Structure formats: structure tokens, C-alpha cells
Amino acid sequence: MTPPAGHTVLWHSLFTMTSPSSHTDILAPSPGTLLNIVTQFAADLGTMTDLTTIGNRIIKELCEAGGTTHGALFLLDREHECYRRASMVGPVAPALVPPTLAMDHPLPRHLLATNRIMTQGNAPADLQDTDSEVGARAAMESMQALRIVPHINKGRLIAFSLLGAAQPIPEENSPTRFLLAALAQTATNALDTIVLYEDLHRSHLLMKRTDRLKSLETIAGGFAHEIRNPLTSIKTFIQLAPERKDDPQFIQEFSKVVLDDVYRIERLIQEILDYARYMEPKLTEEDFNDIVASCLYFIDVKADSHGIKIEKELASDLPRVMLDRQQIKQVLLNLFLNAMDSMARAGGRLRVRTYKLVKPGGSIWVNIEIEDTGEGIQETNIEHIFDPFFTTKHESGEHEGTGLGLTIVHQIIQEHHGEIRVKSSIGVGTTFFVSLPALPA
Ligand SMILES: Nc1ncnc2c1ncn2[C@@H]1O[C@H](COP(=O)(O)OP(=O)(O)OP(=O)(O)O)[C@@H](O)[C@H]1O
Ligand SMILES: [Mg+2]
């Protein structure tokens, strides 16, 4: 939806007809107009989900209401204790507007202390001559701002809008101030919601990353085992090279083997780095069996040492899938590690089967079944296993669980538009079923 065009003009013409000193007179002509502008603004912000769009809309609306033409929105970055320039609209001179402003800079301090819109012209009347006031005015001047609107929520300055214009702005009358304040408050509410939402999103990412780093321990075990062979061959070559340096056949053949081994180690290191590093989800067309095999490979050593036999049955006719390779690895590793934990005490069998499934509607899915012969899940616990922090692995067990593994598995599968189910019986074992939509042939 677009904002009502030219509402400032209408607003000003309505109010210049009335006496600015009479509050009743000022509001009398158009409470409806005011309400419309603010309601429309609130409704528009409600449909927006990303910070830049919201920031741009806020600056535009505040400019239109107060006769300025351009500006920037600064948003609180709690982590780095500063205000960060989040969006700029119109002909702002970026050199004048810094990308960040420290939280204890006089400008934000002054805005928070007064909770008032600062306007270039009203300095003398407002001047309290405090340090922060003087500093704030100086900053305002150096940034060529004509107006600064604070956005304060629950006693916290969550953002401020810096507004400017090439021409002097019209002197502020009460209705303009009133409108600006109403719009500022609406903007504050929207910003607060989006910041909360982004915080939540960040915690999710952090959770995923923590979980991923946890399974790195297992991967590192597999890695150490895996590079032993190539390292041995490299070492042998180096030891033999001095005495066989004149044997061209030896040098030629062995250096090829050694080079392949070095490439193999490089590939493994890259896989581990990709896995550990957080990256934005990246969907690529993948061979699902290939990912399953690479995860099984990493848990092989651990399984062996716990007397767990791995059986794999990977379908040869599996269609390709669009997925985030590292995230799906995280899913599989979590499921494999849970299965192994359940068999850690008595050993057992981990059976991993992939197959293609055509659903009644004709859609094609790639499925994986992960079946263990472990201790099983209590019936009363089944409905909680995907809950954050639900764990039965307390310190007494092999390791202390965080209870985040399956929460993350569930989240990743959902993001891939897949499904996950579980079947378990005590003393017999547990099977997890995961389905992912396949790419059309
Ligand atoms: N294959 C399984 N066999 C038996 N119980 C399981 C299995 N998979 C999950 N569970 C149960 O579900 C709970 C939650 O699993 P989840 O992976 O979320 O956390 P966790 O394994 O306890 O902790 P973490 O993953 O941090 O090590 C486990 O504590 C366990 O009780
Ligand atoms: Mg787990």
C-alpha cells in the first residue's frame, strides 16, 4: 500500500487557517486526517518484514510530515554498544553521516534524557546547556541534520531518525509536532517488533552453530583416523626419497600417490571448515546418498569403539535433492549420534536406509530411515524430544546433553519443506524417518 500522497501539504493548509495557540482549534479541523495518516503508516509497517524497507518507510514518512527531504535511521546495536546506520533515504551525504555512533555519544544520551524531537531552529528555547545538549547540537550540525527524532521504548533509545533538507524547513507548529510524535511512536513500535524478531532469529542461528560445533568433536575423531593413512604414505615417501632419488620410476609413481593423498587431506579439511563455519543457508542440487555416506564415514571410528555395527543400504535410484549440504549433514550427524548414544552401553546395530518414495499425489520424496537397536524412548518422552532443552542425558551418562540436537534437526527439516517422524519401543530400539522433497527428474 502506498501512503496518501501529499498529506503534508493538506495538513499544513488545514492548520495555517487556524490559530496555532489554541489546542482545541488545532485539532478540530482534521483529527480524521491525522488518524488516517498514522493508521495508514501503522498498517504499512505491519506488512513489512525487513529492517531496510521499514527504515526507508519511516524516514520517508517523517520527512513528509515535517518538511524535510532526506535522512537516515540509526538503530541500536546492543552487541557492539553503538547505533548503526540502518537505512538512508534521499540525497544524504554519507561522508557527513557516520556509519556508527557510540552509545555514550552525547547525541543518543541527549535524546534519551529529553525524549524530545530536536529541531535545528529550536535550539535556544530548548537549550539546557548540559554537556550532552551541546554535544548533540554539535553533532546535529556536523551531520547537517535539521531534525532528529528519537525512538524510545520502555526507557531505551532503540533508534533515532536523522532528517535533513536542502532548504530551511518551515517553522514547526503544534500540529506538525503532534503528527511527528505520533508517527515516531508508531515507528518505534514497529522497530521494536522487528528488532525482537531479529534477536530471535540470531539466537536460532547461534543455537545451530553451537550444536554444529558440538558434533565437530566426532568429526575431528573421524578426521584424525582418516588422515593417518595418507600421512603414512607421505612420510614413507620422504624417508625413501634420498636413497631412491635416482630411480625415476619410483619418484614418478610415488609422487603421484603422495599428491593424491595431499589432495585428499585438503578436501577433508575443507569439508570440516565448511561444516564448522556458519553460512547463510545455501541450497544446491545434491546427491543425498553422498552426504549420508560422508557422515557415516565420520562416525565410523566412534561406532567401532562402542561395538556398534553400521549397516547401510543406499538406493541407487535416488533422485537429486535441493538442499543445504552442511545443514543436512548437521541433521544426519545429530540423528546418528543420538542413535549411537542409545547403544553406547551395550553396543548394537545402526541401520541406515535411503529410498525413493512416490506419494499418492505423484510428488517424489527422498527418504532416509535411521534405525538403532538402542534403549528406546519412553512413551511419555516421545512428545517432548523435539522440544528445546529436552534431554535425558544428564551428567551421569557418557556426556551431558543440551537437548538442542533434535530441535535443530526439526527446524532444518522444516526449512527444507521436509518431514520427520519417529517410532520407538523400549528395549527394542528407535527409528527416525526423514523425507525431503526431490527435484523433478
Ligand atoms: N535414537 C534415540 N534413542 C533413544 N533416545 C533418543 C534417541 N534420539 C533422541 N532420543 C531422546 O531424545 C532426547 C533429545 O535428543 P536431542 O538430540 O535433542 O538432545 P540430546 O541428545 O539429549 O543432547 P545433545 O544433542 O545436545 O547431545 C535425548 O536426550 C533422548 O532422551
Ligand atoms: Mg542429540
Nearest partner of 157 among 78, 248, 253, 62, judged by Cα: 78
What's the gap in Å between 161 CA and the centre of ligand 2?
46
The CATH number of the domain covering residues in 7-199? 3.30.450.40
What's the gap in Å between 337 CA and the centre of ligand 2?
6
> Which ligand does the CA of 401 lie closest to?
1
Nearest partner of 55 among 175, 135, 163, judged by Cα: 163
What are the residue ranges of helices labelled H in 167-287?
174-244, 248-276
Which amino acid is it at 251? I
Per-residue pLDDT tens, the chain, 441 aa: give them.
333 443 433 333 333 333 333 333 333 336 778 788 999 999 999 898 888 899 999 999 999 888 888 999 999 988 889 999 998 998 887 888 899 999 999 999 999 999 999 988 655 444 556 778 888 999 999 998 999 999 999 899 999 999 998 787 777 777 788 889 999 999 999 999 888 888 888 888 888 888 888 787 777 877 887 788 888 989 998 999 899 989 999 899 888 989 988 988 888 888 788 777 766 778 999 999 999 998 998 898 889 999 999 999 999 999 999 999 999 999 999 999 999 999 999 999 999 999 999 988 889 999 999 999 999 999 999 999 998 888 998 765 566 788 889 998 998 999 899 999 999 999 999 999 999 999 876
What does the pLDDT read at residue 9? 33
pTM greater than 0.75: no
Closest ligand 1 atom to 375 CA: 4
What does the pLDDT read at residue 268? 80
What's the gap in Å between 387 CA and the centre of ligand 1?
11
CB atoms within 10 A of CB 46: 12
Q: Looking at the domain covering 282-437, what would its CATH class be?
A: alpha beta
185 vs 190: CA distance, rounded Å: 9
What does the pLDDT read at residue 17? 32
What does the pLDDT read at residue 2? 38
Of all protein residues, the one whose alpha carbon is nearest to atom 29 of ligand 1 is 391
Of all protein residues, the one whose alpha carbon is nearest to atom 22 of ligand 1 is 391
Residue in 393, 394, 407, 410 to alter for ligand 1 test, most ligand atoms within 8 A of Cβ: 393
CB 283, CB 323: distance < 8 Å: yes
What's the gap in Å between 91 CA and the centre of ligand 2?
53
Nearest partner of 268 among 332, 235, 219, judged by Cα: 219
> Which ligand does the CA of 340 lie closest to?
1
What's the gap in Å between 391 CA and the centre of ligand 1?
6
DSSP-derived pairing of the beta strands 147-153 and 156-164: antiparallel
What's the gap in Å between 355 CA and the centre of ligand 2?
24
What does the pLDDT read at residue 269? 84
What does the pLDDT read at residue 11? 34
Residue in 334, 341, 351 to alter for ligand 1 test, most ligand atoms within 8 A of Cβ: 341
Ligand 1 site, CB within 6 A: 334, 338-339, 342, 372, 374-377, 381, 385, 390-393, 401-407, 430
144 vs 339: CA distance, rounded Å: 63
Query: Backbone dihedral region of 129: left (phi > 0), alpha (psi from -120 to 50 degrees) or beta?
Result: left
Which amino acid is it at 139? A
CB under 8 A, 24+ apart: contacts of 119-124 = 119/146, 119/147, 119/169, 119/172, 120/145, 120/146, 120/147, 120/169, 121/168, 121/169, 121/171, 121/172, 122/172
Segments making up each domain of the chain, as ranges: 7-199, 282-437
Distance from chain centroid for Cα 167: 41
Residue in 391, 413, 424, 432 to alter for ligand 1 test, most ligand atoms within 8 A of Cβ: 391
Task: Phi first, then psi: give them for residue 246, nearest 5 degrees.
Answer: -95, 5
> Which ligand does the CA of 370 lie closest to?
1
Closest ligand 1 atom to 407 CA: 18
What's the gap in Å between 305 CA and the centre of ligand 1?
20
Which amino acid is it at 106? P
What's the gap in Å between 349 CA and the centre of ligand 2?
18
Helix (H/G/I), strand (E/B), else coil: 113: helix
